[in-house]
């Protein structure tokens, strides 16, 4: 942490800052420049110094953190080696590109199984489907709940694809652990810290969606809540952020992919469906995400989107999903990824 003093700060003010740094258990290094003096606080006591509130001490202009606040998720922590998540022999990350596909929400056995067939036929390694749906309106369909989980379990047995499904309420974790191979945390729950901690304790792989206005650093801090419990298998998911642009639901932030890859060893997945909100935009955004180096794409498809209960307009039509998947895979391969495609 560097404490930048105001121009003309007095010796007494400088000394008072030094004293407070040392009282907090760190060492102070004073650097006197032509205009301003900068005091470095060095030691393992970064957070104590932070809590000391030096921002408002007399003569202080501002305080600059030096150390990154995340540790276990940093690329340095694994000395530059990237994490590959492996489930039933199917991989994602560390150079391997995978699709995660399926319907937005589980509606019925028939819908789920038709979608499962279409995804399996397209070589998709991971199957997704929501039993609990966070909805802006209390008057909208909220998901089938436990019955949805039961159908997902049937589908898993039928198609052999590991299941990605969302957990919204910490009280449902045991039910979700019955079927989920990957527990999804929605954007609105990215900073639901107790939920993250419980998922960390469960040891089950997680897919953590970036909050609508979460910074890259906050996303990594959220993953840290899972990692600190000993659970290393976290995929980070960019799904669109909130900006001033009214022309689409969210702004898909693909620059986050290479930036995250410089900061963390965790795999980066992109959800193009929710930002776009319409299926004709999902393919170009999926190709772009693959080209930018994403480790995976989580995408919605439905056998009959016109009659979908939820988010039909953004679902890839099931009968066209094979073509979608092969185009996306082709771009991922071109930028050097190894493809995880399961032959039927």
Looking at residues 38 to 67 of the shown chain, list those that interact with a second copy (rule: CB under 8 A). Answer: 38, 40, 42-44, 47, 51-53, 55-56, 64, 66-67
Q: Is 284 in the site for a second copy (CB under 8 A)?
A: yes
Footprint on residues 155-174 left by a second copy (CB under 8 A): 168-171
Joined together, the tokens standing for residue 65 give: 């953190």
Q: Is 262 in the site for a second copy (CB under 8 A)?
A: yes
Joined together, the tokens standing for residue 177 give: 């652990």
Q: Which of 225, 236, 237, 295 binds a second copy (CB under 8 A)?
A: 225
User: Looking at 99-107, 123-131, 147-155, 276-284, which segment touches a second copy (CB under 8 A)?
Assistant: 276-284
For residue 18, the minimal CB distance to a second copy (Å) is: 14
> What is the rounded distance in angstroms from the CA atom of residue 46 to the CA atom of residue 125?
43
For residue 66, the minimal CB distance to a second copy (Å) is: 6
Q: Is 246 in the site for a second copy (CB under 8 A)?
A: yes
Where would I find the H helices in 29-145? 46-51, 109-121
Q: What angle (nearest 5°) sits at the alpha carbon of residue 79, between those of residues 48 and 266? A: 85
Q: Is 81 in the site for a second copy (CB under 8 A)?
A: no
Helix/strand/coil percent split, the chain, to 5: 40, 20, 40
Where would I find the H helices in 204-340? 216-227, 256-263, 272-276, 279-291, 321-334
Q: Is 131 in the site for a second copy (CB under 8 A)?
A: no
| Nearest to a second copy of 136, 343 (CB atom) | 136
- For residue 172, give every residue at least 6 positions away whose Cβ sits within 8 Å of its Cβ, in sequence order, or none: 132
Strand ranges, E, within the chain: 2-5, 27-32, 37-42, 60-64, 85-87, 90-92, 96-102, 126-128, 163-166, 182-185, 206-209, 234-238, 268-270, 296-302, 316-317, 338-339
For residue 296, the minimal CB distance to a second copy (Å) is: 15
Footprint on residues 300-329 left by a second copy (CB under 8 A): 305-306, 308-310, 312-313
Q: Is 224 in the site for a second copy (CB under 8 A)?
A: yes
For residue 227, the minimal CB distance to a second copy (Å) is: 9
Footprint on residues 12-41 left by a second copy (CB under 8 A): 29, 31, 33-36, 38, 40
* Residues contacting a second copy: total by CB under 8 A: 101
Q: Is 179 in the site for a second copy (CB under 8 A)?
A: no
> What is the rounded distance in angstroms from the CA atom of residue 332 to the CA atom of residue 97?
7
Q: Is 201 in the site for a second copy (CB under 8 A)?
A: no
Q: Is 230 in the site for a second copy (CB under 8 A)?
A: no
Q: Is 139 in the site for a second copy (CB under 8 A)?
A: yes
For residue 261, the minimal CB distance to a second copy (Å) is: 9
Q: Which of 22, 117, 154, 218 binds a second copy (CB under 8 A)?
A: 218
For residue 191, the minimal CB distance to a second copy (Å) is: 4
- For residue 171, give every residue at least 6 positions away whose Cβ sits within 8 Å of its Cβ, in sequence order, or none: none
Q: Is 101 in the site for a second copy (CB under 8 A)?
A: no
End-to-end Cα, the chain, rounded Å: 55
Q: Is 73 in the site for a second copy (CB under 8 A)?
A: no
| Nearest to a second copy of 26, 207 (CB atom) | 26
Q: For residues 24 and 52, is the Cβ–Cβ distance under 8 A?
A: yes
Q: Is 231 in the site for a second copy (CB under 8 A)?
A: no
- For residue 128, give every residue at least 6 positions away whose Cβ sits within 8 Å of its Cβ, in sequence order, or none: 100, 101, 102, 103, 163, 164, 165, 184, 298, 300
Q: Which of 99, 122, 149, 257 binds a second copy (CB under 8 A)?
A: 257
């Amino acid at each position: 942490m560097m404490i930048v003093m105001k121009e003309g700060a007095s010796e007494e003010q400088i000394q008072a800052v030094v004293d407070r740094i040392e009282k907090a258990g760190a060492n102070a290094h004073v650097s006197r420049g032509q205009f301003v003096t900068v005091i470095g606080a060095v030691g393992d006591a970064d957070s104590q110094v932070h809590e000391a509130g030096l921002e408002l001490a007399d003569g202080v202009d501002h305080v600059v953190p030096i150390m990154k606040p995340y540790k276990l998720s940093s690329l340095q922590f694994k000395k530059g080696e990237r994490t590959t998540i492996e489930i039933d022999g199917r991989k994602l990350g560390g150079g391997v590109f995978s699709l995660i596909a399926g319907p937005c929400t589980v509606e019925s056995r028939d819908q789920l199984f038709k979608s499962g067939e279409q995804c399996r036929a397209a070589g998709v390694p991971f199957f997704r489907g929501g039993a609990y749906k966070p909805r802006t309106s209390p008057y909208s369909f909220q998901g089938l709940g436990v019955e949805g989980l039961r159908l997902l379990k049937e589908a898993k047995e039928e198609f052999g694809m590991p299941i990605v499904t969302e957990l919204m309420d910490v009280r449902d974790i045991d039910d979700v652990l019955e079927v989920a191979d990957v527990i999804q945390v929605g954007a609105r729950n990215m900073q639901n810290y107790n939920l993250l901690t419980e998922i960390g304790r469960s040891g089950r792989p997680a897919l953590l969606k970036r909050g609508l206005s979460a910074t890259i650093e906050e996303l990594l801090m959220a993953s840290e809540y899972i990692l600190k419990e000993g659970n290393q298998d976290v995929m980070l998911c960019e799904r669109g952020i909130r900006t001033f642009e009214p022309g689409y639901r969210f702004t898909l932030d693909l620059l986050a992919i290479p930036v995250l890859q410089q900061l963390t060893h965790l795999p980066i997945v992109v959800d193009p469906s929710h930002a776009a909100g319409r299926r004709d935009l999902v393919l170009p955004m999926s190709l772009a995400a693959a080209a930018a180096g994403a480790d995976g794409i989580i995408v919605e498809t439905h056998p009959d989107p016109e009659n979908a209960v939820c988010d039909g307009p953004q679902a890839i039509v099931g009968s066209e999903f094979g073509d979608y998947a092969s185009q996306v895979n082709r771009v991922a391969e071109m930028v050097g990824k190894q493809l995880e495609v399961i032959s039927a």
